Amino acid sequence: MPAGYGRYVTIELRPLTGADAEAHCAGEDELTVRWLTGGYGDVDGTIGYFELLAGNADRGVGKRGFGIWKSGRLAGYIDYTPDLDDGLEPDDVALAYAVHPWARGQGVAVEALGLLCDILRTDNIGTRAAIRVEPDNVASVRVAQKAGFRYVRDFPSNRDTQPDGTPTTFSLYLLDL
């Protein structure tokens, strides 16, 4: 894999390293925690997570993640999971992303999704990109729509739950690769 992927000079995807952990953690806010992570990360745990993602990439299995870079600054995170079966078909690839507060509203997530889909096509991973988003996450729903994903259905998760223990309901958006 080349050092970075990018359609435009100011937006690039690069595998994350331990050196990026502090900036990654600093970019987390209440929206990131609510919609993606479930809790704030710490630098040591984040370094370990980035090492796990790098190991997965080396082996060509499991979740793989990238930093989203805008004008040389870490602007967020995006990953793909080729083997998630919660609400997805076997050849669907689950995508997840978060944009740091300073970079929101600038098209960063839409561009990052396009770049990640280019990687999936180039590497021949899956037949459809899938975004599972809680319907109340209006910003992420808008990103999926702007990126060309089509709404398919709502479904109760078989692995994610709300704080009260009820299954999380996701809306599924798909894009043919």
Domains and CATH numbers, the chain: 5-176 (3.40.630.30)
Q: What percent of the chain has pLDDT over 90?
A: 80
Q: What is the pLDDT of residue 26?
A: 86
Listed range (36-40, 60-64, 95-99, 120-124) with the worst mean pLDDT: 36-40
Contact 21, 46 (CB under 8 A): yes
Contact 97, 113 (CB under 8 A): yes
Q: Is pLDDT at 57 greater than 60 in this prediction?
A: yes
What's the rounded mean pLDDT across residues 96-124? 95
Calpha distance 175→177 (Å, rounded): 6
Calpha distance 172→149 (Å, rounded): 9
Q: Retrieve residue 16's tokens.
A: 């994350």
Q: What percent of the chain has pLDDT over 70?
A: 93
What is the chain's mean pLDDT, rounded? 91
Beta strand pairing call for 5-8 and 92-99: unpaired
Extract the runs of DSSP E, i.e. beta strands, from 34-127. Answer: 64-70, 73-81, 92-99
Helix or strand holding residue 172 (H, E)? strand 167-176
What's the rounded mean pLDDT across residues 58-86? 95
What's the rounded mean pLDDT across residues 60-85? 95
Q: What is the pLDDT of residue 27?
A: 87
Q: What is the pLDDT of residue 49?
A: 93
Question: What are the CB-based long-range contacts (under 8 Å, 24+) for 56-61?
Answer: 57/1, 57/15
Q: How confident is the model at residue 33 (pLDDT cuts 50, 70, 90)?
A: low
Q: Is pLDDT at 8 greater than 70 in this prediction?
A: no
User: What letter would DSSP give residue 108?
Assistant: H
